[in-house]
Structure 1
Amino acid sequence: MTTFHQLNAISLRGQPISMADFTGKLVLVVNTASHCGFTPQYAGLEALYKKHAAQGLVILGFPCNQFGKQEPGSDGDIAQTCQINYGVSFPMFKKVEVNGAAAHPLFRYLKDELPGVLGGRIKWNFTKFLIGRDGKPLKRFAPITTPEKMEAAILAALES
């Protein structure tokens, strides 16, 4: 059986990253998009990251163009939107699919572990998955759940 820490992804800069690099960290995985009504959540995610990184929180952003073609840009376009418009400093990855036959293995795993209201599907951009320090998925948050509303769950997981 695959675990979170056995999975890999490619960073926005083209570097392979092992999720094992985040062993001992509380991880928040988010499927993102630069042209979405929820895109301003980048600012809240960055604020959470800056506030709690020293305690062990890491946020991983995975751009996705499957919902309304809201992430049409290149890796450079995505990096520019994230960094210039929202000051994102947490790790961002290459564009992935989160649903369907071509879904990235990370998202297949997370959907299996935390199915959500649509069963094995992600409803929209900015669906979030909280993974414990031990790599066990803890909680799934809907796209409409703002980063600020997730802070209590993040604090509880950081303290456990």
Structure 2
Amino acid sequence: MPTIYDFSLPTLTGDSTIALEQYRGRPIVIANTASKCGFTPQYEALQHIWTEFASEGLVVIGVPSNDFGNQEPGDAAAISETCHRNYGVSFPMAAKSHVKGHDAIPLFRWLSEQGGFLARPRWNFYKYIFSRDGMLSNWFTPLTDPAGPRMSQALQRVILDR
């Protein structure tokens, strides 16, 4: 059965690949992101959990997408500037990708299978939490604050599960 570790993503700059295998045994959060969305300030909360739980092995990865409302129209340089300048993002960012429908990248097609119909992203900033064994543990819609209590509890479960 595939796990998150069977996938890789091109980096935002396109000069290398984020091989998720390198994070084997670590909890992972993946979020589909956009720079011009009402939920874009969630970058700050994602950065917060990346910083707060890095010593526990947590990995956060952003996957920019223009699939919803044309809210990620820029190129890699524009996305990077928004992430770094406005929100101080230091976690890995993948290349802009499709996350829904037939054009979805393999990782998001797999996520749709793992989480079912309701877990398919229907807007920006869906957040997916993976346990240390590489399986989907939980997912949250954009309405859930990444630094809020619901997601914090879910993160604690995967961080403490050794």
**Aligned equivalent of 1:9:** 9
Aligned-partner Cα distance in 2 for 1:112–1:143:
20
Q: Quote the Cα distance in structure 2 between the aligned partners of 1:47 and 1:37.
A: 18
Q: Which runs of 4+ in 1 moved over 4 A?
A: none
Note the C-alpha offset of 1:159: 0.7
How far 1:137 moved relative to its partner? 0.7
The residue matched to 2:66 in structure 1 has which SS?
coil
Map 1:70-81; keep pairs closer than 5 Å: 70-81=71-82
State the TM-score, normalized to the length of structure 1.
0.95
How far has the Cα of 1:100 moved from its partner?
A: 1.3
Identity, % of aligned positions = 41
Deviation of the 1:116 alpha carbon: 4.9
Residues 18 and 94 in structure 2, CA contact (< 8 A), matched pair in contact too: no
Cross-structure match for 1:133: 132
Normalised TM-score (structure 2): 0.94
Aligned pairs for 1:70-149 within 5 A: 70-117=71-118, 121-149=120-148
Question: 1:104 is matched by which residue type in structure 2?
Answer: I
Unaligned runs of 5+ in 2: none
Pairwise CA distance, 1:152: 1.4
1:60-100: per-residue Cα shift (whole Å, max 9, x none)? 10000010000000000000000000000000010011111
CA distance in 2 between partners of 1:18 and 1:52 (Å): 21
Give CA-to-partner distance per residue, 1:41-64, whole Å, 9 cap, x none.
Answer: 000110111010110111010000
Q: 2:37 maps to what in 1?
A: 36
How far apart, in 2, do the equivalents of 1:17 and 1:142 lie?
24
Q: CA deviation at 1:2?
A: 2.9
Partner of 1:69: 70
Once residues 117 and 82 of structure 2 are traced to their aligned partners in structure 1, the CA distance between those partners, rounded to angstroms, is: 29
